[in-house]
Amino acid sequence: MPDTVRTPKWRYTCWFGVRDIGGDQIAIETDHILGRELYDHRLDSGGASFDRDGEHINLVEEVAYESIVERHHALVLGYIRLPTVAATATADARSSQLKTEDMEAHLFSSHDRTAAVLECQPEIDGSFGPTYHVVNNVTRLPSGELKRQPLNDANAIFEYKGIYHAMNQAGGGNWTHAISDDLVRWFHVKEALSVGTQLANRTISQKWGPHDIGPCDGTVSFPEGQPGPIIMYMPDCDDGLDPSHPKKGDDTPRIAISRPADPESPFLLDWLTDKSDILVFDHGPPCSFPGRVWKSKAGEYYNMICAYNAGNVWARYTSSDPALLHWRIADKQFTEPISAGNGLNGPLFHPIPNAAPGGPDHMINADTGDSFYLGVYNYTTEKLNITSRRQTIDSSSFFQFGAVGTASDGRLLTTDWLGMYKYPVNALSSIRELTYDRAVGQLVSRPVAEYASLRTATFVENAHSALPPHTMMTLPVPPGAGGTIDMLVSFDIASVRAANASDFGVAVRAQPNTARGADLAVYFNAIESASDGTKTIRWNVTTAGQVPRGVSAPRVSAFKLPNGETTLDVRILVDRPIVEVFVQGGRGTFSWAQDNFMPNRTAVHLFNAGSANVVARNVSVYGMACGWRPDKPKPKPQ
């Protein structure tokens, strides 16, 4: 029998001389990192299994699984340090040595268990990373150094049976999976897809091809009539489909389907993968970058939007196969009159939340997730008639490769990758709600309301202050605390003459005594009034430091203020290297992720460089807690 250390929340079990622990529990070799570091001795065989709050995580000896092993090993060592155990000791002697009661007391002696969560640590990879944005797995190396795994495209954000899920690519080759019960406090679980999980589950015996780095782009769908959610994904990044295919190298048109092993579980921990689950495209070329799958209202079949023959046009494919394995081309161009599509990201096609009667009712991304076209979807012809210009939900070139999904309360959620390849700051954006602002006929994105629950300190709340011309007001934020804040202010412009209203705004991550040179400042440059009472607001964002290579200089779009609106409402989320700006409920939005955060540059200033008095109302600044939890969440009541 295994020796077991039991605590109120944790069970850590060590096996000696065991290779296979029955069922799908696979022992780990003791010459693996976990066995070496925990036991400080060598055996011919041995293993470990980890169980937290009923979640069983299999640790296997495949190289592809080392990151998971290191992570959970680090989680254990973050709470306890097992003593050296002699290999020849009897089971009773070993149990005595482990001193269960002492370890439990040490484990729960901390008043704040989140302090031991690796994602919450103040410094990772030698720099200050975000703490309440979704990042990839963090592991502790044998040296004690913390290492954050790379992150890129967002693949999924959705709610299922009371649990929220965020899935993203981890530098290519796997889908990292985090879960939450409130959209703002996350917990990493095992990868949803990877070459390692395919090998570990023994569903394949080798990689898909010689250059295969694993699953990359894809989408989670909830098709009517299916037993649970499905993932349509590209299983073999960087592996060519055919030497004769016009698009060689990566992102070739091969798609696979994966289903959860237990669709009744809200956690969706295990996803089944097999080479037999590669889609077959009958009577026409295949596609890449699959979008969501939905049941047609025009016939007994399913629809899927994807990139026709790995090109830049989104086409509609159909399937009458209950297993969703056989597909055929139905329409080479899904949208009209504009031919929407791209060869870098899947289609994000969804009904528009809060759509105005008689107006556009569906949306589809115009690029990789920072802008959308709006239009009317015809359920008979199954085409999307685009009726709007491109509508931008974030003006930053950092905000890209996004995902869109639904919550049970009807909200449409989105998150995008903030960063770029080989860039030190890589995280997902704040989880946002997408909705239609009927007052101005615009699609907007704004942080979900749940972020207010992360507010852990109040530095100033609902304050009012006049800003005379050429003045600056420093808000009472303690030194260093301005690195993780939620800041709100409403500028009253009812009595401001448009000709005089210029260059007022907010500076964050600034030096204590000046707004000049702030890491990010929001300026309102001009207010232009029309005869019907509406106003056009022109604004700008400035950033300090060198603009990273491949990133465009900040540039934002003007937006409308309907007659009767008399304030400019600004909300800024600062999470150390990440700053996200939302103006007027998301009509203007800008995100920035620059690796130049310094704890001694965290002041927050309001300023007015213009010639008219400006009043700042409802000024509030809150300190933000870490967005990671130490234990698996419980499903929300349904």
**pLDDT, tens digit (0-9, with 9 covering 90-100), for 157-201:** 999 999 999 999 987 668 999 999 999 999 999 999 987 555 554
Type of residue numbered 252: T
Same domain as 464, residue 481: yes
Same domain as 297, residue 405: yes
What is the number of domains present in the chain? 3
Encoded tokens for 30: 């003791």
Same domain as 475, residue 413: no
Same domain as 95, residue 27: yes
- Domain hosting 406: range is 150-348+400-447
- Choose the final residue of a domain: 412, 447, 482: 447
Same domain as 439, residue 335: yes
Same domain as 167, residue 86: no
Can you give the pLDDT at residue 497?
Answer: 61
List, for residues 486-510, the tens digit of each pLDDT value: 999 999 988 666 555 678 999 999 9
8 A C-beta contact, residue 308 and residue 332: yes
Whether residue 364 is contained in a domain is answered as no
Can you give the pLDDT at residue 248?
Answer: 46
Which residues have a Cβ under 8 Å from the Cβ of 61 and sit 6 or more positions away? 26, 28, 29, 32
Same domain as 175, residue 98: no
Whether residue 221 is contained in a domain is answered as yes
Distance CA 441, CA 541 (A): 24
Whether residue 160 is contained in a domain is answered as yes
Distance CA 10, CA 509 (A): 39
Whether residue 507 is contained in a domain is answered as yes
Collect contacts of 596-600 with beta carbons under 8 A, ≥24 apart: 596/519, 596/544, 596/545, 597/127, 597/128, 597/483, 597/509, 597/519, 599/128, 599/480, 599/483, 600/479, 600/480
Whether residue 572 is contained in a domain is answered as yes
Whether residue 368 is contained in a domain is answered as no
Q: How many CA atoms lie within 13 A of 447 on its CB side?
A: 28
To which H or E segment does residue 270 belong?
none
Can you give the pLDDT at residue 294?
Answer: 98
Using the Cα atoms of residue 115, residue 518, residue 622 and residue 633 in order, give the sign of their dihedral.
negative
Q: How far is CA 418 from CA 8, 23, 96, in A?
A: 38, 40, 50
- Choose the final residue of a domain: 392, 422, 447: 447
The CATH number that applies at residue 233 is 2.115.10.20
Same domain as 311, residue 204: yes
Same domain as 309, residue 443: yes
Same domain as 443, residue 501: no
The CATH number that applies at residue 487 is 2.60.120.560
Distance CA 621, CA 604 (A): 9
Same domain as 258, residue 157: yes
Can you give the pLDDT at residue 602?
Answer: 97
Can you give the pLDDT at residue 17?
Answer: 28
Q: Which pTM value belongs to this model?
A: 0.81
Can you give the pLDDT at residue 110?
Answer: 30
Write phi, then psi, for 475 (nearest 5 degrees).
Answer: -80, 150
Low-confidence ranges of the chain (pLDDT < 70): 1-115, 172-173, 196-213, 238-251, 420-422, 495-501, 547-553
Whether residue 141 is contained in a domain is answered as no
The beta-strand segments (E) located in 170-240 are: 174-180, 187-194, 218-221, 230-233
8 A C-beta contact, residue 159 and residue 165: yes
Can you give the pLDDT at residue 131?
Answer: 94
Q: Is 105 helix (H, G, I), strand (E, B) or coil?
A: helix
Write phi, then psi, for 345 (nearest 5 degrees).
Answer: -150, 150
